Amino acid sequence: MAQTSVNIRMDEATKVAFDRFCNEIGLSMSAAFNIFAKTVVREQRIPFELTTEIPNAVTLAAMDAAEKDEDIYGPFDSVKELMEALNA
């Protein structure tokens, strides 16, 4: 099958990181994009979930606390113990 060229634009940092990743797994960027394109054509969909869901303030605060090892509870010895902590 004849080959054709496709040009895409992306920011430099993403390009460098993507190229580094591709090299680590033994693929060229061209091969990775070809895999993506062939998967889209075969499955007739983007092969991963696209979402605009942004965590709310409560979730963001919990994520931040977890990253700082704050407000971490458990382990629990029983479901009853866990439920008591959750309902406190």
pLDDT digit string, tens, across residues 58-80: 889 888 988 888 877 778 889 99
- How many Å is the Cα radius of gyration of the chain? 22
Dig out the tokens for 86 from the structure.
């959750």
pLDDT digit string, tens, across residues 3-43: 999 999 999 999 999 999 999 999 999 999 999 999 999 99
Contact 22, 28 (CB under 8 A): yes
pTM: 0.56
